[in-house]
Amino acid sequence: MYLASIAGGHPGLSKFGLLAMGQQCVMGQTVWRVTEKISLTLVNEARATAMGDGFNRSMQQLDEISLSIKHRCA
């Protein structure tokens, strides 16, 4: 469902970011130095009418998915 939301531009998609940081490998002296992090935050919002008051209440749920990729020196 989340992947479909990204591809389809679902209105619940709040934030999508890519962070790349680190250093390059030099003559095989480092094990890994480059890390990429992909994060996705979804906001699911539901509105319901409060009993007897007649106004809308809003509830939010934040779902975050993150993936880290480490590049290793050969």
pLDDT digits (tens, 9 = 90+) for 25-44: 555 555 545 666 777 666 66
Q: What is the pLDDT of residue 4?
A: 42
The predicted model scores a pTM of 0.30
**pLDDT at residue 51 above 50?**
yes
Question: End-to-end alpha-carbon separation of the chain, Å?
Answer: 36
**pLDDT at residue 1 above 50?**
no
Q: How many domains does the chain have?
A: 1
Q: What is the pLDDT of residue 5?
A: 44
- What is the domain range of residue 31? 2-72
Query: Residue 15: pLDDT band by 50, 70, 90 thresholds?
Result: low
Are the C-beta atoms of residues 49 and 55 closer than 8 Å to each other?
yes
Q: What are phi and psi of 28, to 5 degrees?
A: 70, 15
